Structure 1
Amino acid sequence: MHPAPSLIVFTTLSGLGFGLMAFLGIDPPAKGGWVMAVFAALALALAGAGLVASLWHLGHPERAWKALSQWRSSWLSREGVLAMATMAVFGLHAALIVLAGTQVALLGWLAALLAVATVVATGMIYAQLRAIPRWHSPLTPLLFVLYALAGGALLAGQVTVGGWLLLALGAAQLAGWHLGDGALAASGTTAETATGLGHLGRVRLLESPHTGRNYLLDEMVFRVGRKHAAKLRLIAFALAVALPAAIALLTEPHHLLGGVLVLSHVAGTVVARWLFYAQAEHVVGLYYGARARA
């Protein structure tokens, strides 16, 4: 699929924001209310910026509020409702600490659980799509959660915890790439099943369904070469997982090195997100001559 910049920004920033909220809800800074104010403002700004970025992908952003009414059946709607609930509960939790010096543990845990639930809902938007076998897997929401928690831990200064989460993220990401490469073939969907002509033998494209570019080709049949994908995977893994995990677990990072650790993880996450969209083969591509990789 076409890797829209708005979706990359949305999933990256909102994941970091809600991941940071989860850690601030469970273990807020012990250095005083104003330190909490800075961290809370960062978490809310990241989550808010991510949600605003998601509106860029809508044809009519002014109608976004209507999506919230479909929470019974839509993961997109559930994500929106959970995001607003999370930010409200977390905002109250942070305000009590900053303004009154009072920490309500139950409120903090509720904010943390809502933050994780929001990220799960984001992942389920993609995991529910049977038409994209690479995404249609329990690994998809798991990866969203691990990226959010690992990034949130690093931003919160929970470096050791973040390091172990990065190792879990690395294992899940490698598994996701490996299984995803064969997901379309494993789904059993082919040009023969798509056209219903399999009883006649192998189906091949005689002429393109369209004489020019269209929405389906631009959005659903995006291609990235294997050679380029392999290089980008290496870059994403090195920046998002390997380098920050090594710094977190093998050194005692000071503020400057901690900043490098966070920036490396965020840069790697952006590359991984680009690949997440770019390598998602929609089954509609079978009508344009695409073949499942063996």
Structure 2
Amino acid sequence: MHPAPSIIFFTVFSGLGFGLLTFLGFGKPDYSGFTAFIFFLIAYVFAVGGLVSSTFHLGNPQRALKAFSQWRSSWLSREGCLAVAALTVMGIYAIGVVFLDTRWTLLGLVGAALSLATVFGTSMIYTQITTVPRWSHWTTPVLFILYALTGGAFLAGQTSIAAPMLLLLGVFQCVYWIIGDKLFSASGSTIETATGLGSMGKIRMFEAPHSSKNYLMKEMVHVVGRKHARTLRIIGVLCLSLLPYLLLVLPPFYHLISLLALLLHIGGALILRWLFFAEAEHTVGLYYGQR
């Protein structure tokens, strides 16, 4: 599918923001006053900034508020409602930590749970799309939550948690590819099933259905060469997981090294999230001979 920059920014940075809010809800790091304010500020800038950027992909961004009314049937709406709930609860919790030097533990735990639920809601927007077999699998929400928790631990300065999470995320990202690369074929969707002409035997497209590109081809069909995809996968995993891990665990440890590791991790996340969309094959592509 077409990897729109606004959606890449949204999924990466909102995940980082809500991941950090999760750790702050658990009381990590254990700061109060102005230092705690900085951590909450970073979390809110990432979370809210990511959510706002998602509206740039809408045809009519001014109608975004209407999405909240469809929570009974839409994961997009549920994600929005969960995000508002998480930001509200964590905002109240932040008042106690920053201004009153008080931790309302139960409120923090509820806020952390809502923050993770928001990330899960984001992942389900894509998991529910059965016409994209690579996404429609249990590995998609697990991957999103691992990204959020790893980035959240990083931003919260929890090196002892972030280091093993980096390796776990890198391994699971590879597992996601191993499983995902087989899902389209396993779904049974072919040009024969798409056109309903399977009874005639093996068929092929004589020519494209349209003489020029249309909306479906722009949004739902995006072909990435295997060679380029493999190169981006390697670069992405190195930046996302392996290099930041080495920078965190190998002495000497400095804050500047930790910052470099974080920037590498975010860069890797952006690369791999681009691939997440670019490699997603929608079944509509069968009508255009694009597999």
TM over 0.5: yes
**1:202-228 deviation digits (Å, cap 9, x = unpaired):** 120012100111111111111110000
1:37 corresponds in structure 2 to 37
Contact 2:29 2:157 in 1 (8 A): no
Distance 1:237 1:195, change over 3 A: same
Give the secondary-structure state (helix, strand or coil) at the position aligned to 2:213. Answer: coil
Structure 1 unmatched ranges of 5 or more: none
The one-letter code of the counterpart of 1:22 is T
2:258 corresponds in structure 1 to 258
Higher mean displacement: 46-55 or 158-167 = 158-167
Report 1:105-184 matches (<5 A). Answer: 105-184=105-184
Distance in 1 of aligned mates of 2:31 and 2:197: 68
**1:107-153 deviation digits (Å, cap 9, x = unpaired):** 11111100100000100110111100011111111111000110010
- Give the superposition deviation at 1:244: 1.2
Distance in 2 of aligned mates of 1:102 and 1:59: 44
1:14 corresponds in structure 2 to 14
The one-letter code of the counterpart of 1:264 is L
1:216 corresponds in structure 2 to 216
The one-letter code of the counterpart of 1:158 is Q
Distance in 1 of aligned mates of 2:241 and 2:124: 23
Contact 1:160 1:248 in 2 (8 A): no
Distance 1:249 1:64, change over 3 A: same
Q: Percent identity?
A: 51
1:55 corresponds in structure 2 to 55
Please say if 1:71 is aligned against 2:61: no
Distance in 2 of aligned mates of 1:38 and 1:252: 26
Distance in 2 of aligned mates of 1:235 and 1:106: 41
Contact 2:29 2:158 in 1 (8 A): no
Distance in 1 of aligned mates of 2:230 and 2:67: 37
Contact 1:93 1:108 in 2 (8 A): yes
2:227 corresponds in structure 1 to 227
Aligned-residue RMSD, C-alpha: 1.0
**1:211-261 deviation digits (Å, cap 9, x = unpaired):** 111111111111110000000000110000111122233446321011011
Contact 1:160 1:249 in 2 (8 A): no
The one-letter code of the counterpart of 2:139 is L
Give the secondary-structure state (helix, strand or coil) at the position aligned to 1:69. Answer: helix
- Give the superposition deviation at 1:48: 0.6
Distance in 2 of aligned mates of 1:246 and 1:141: 27
**1:57-81 deviation digits (Å, cap 9, x = unpaired):** 0011111111111111111000000
The one-letter code of the counterpart of 1:220 is M
Distance in 1 of aligned mates of 2:84 and 2:277: 26
Higher mean displacement: 92-101 or 248-257 = 248-257
Distance in 2 of aligned mates of 1:216 and 1:252: 52
Report 1:192-207 matches (<5 A). Answer: 192-207=192-207
Higher mean displacement: 265-274 or 252-261 = 252-261
Contact 2:76 2:122 in 1 (8 A): yes
- Give the superposition deviation at 1:165: 1.3
- Give the superposition deviation at 1:32: 3.2
The one-letter code of the counterpart of 1:68 is F
The aligned length equals 291
Give the secondary-structure state (helix, strand or coil) at the position aligned to 2:57. Answer: coil
Distance in 2 of aligned mates of 1:286 and 1:29: 50
Distance in 1 of aligned mates of 2:128 and 2:39: 33
- Give the superposition deviation at 1:199: 1.2
Q: What's the TM-score once normalised by structure 2's chain length?
A: 0.98
Contact 1:70 1:77 in 2 (8 A): yes
Distance in 2 of aligned mates of 1:252 and 1:283: 50
Contact 2:223 2:290 in 1 (8 A): no
The one-letter code of the counterpart of 2:208 is S
Please say if 1:81 is aligned against 2:77: no
Distance in 2 of aligned mates of 1:237 and 1:151: 14
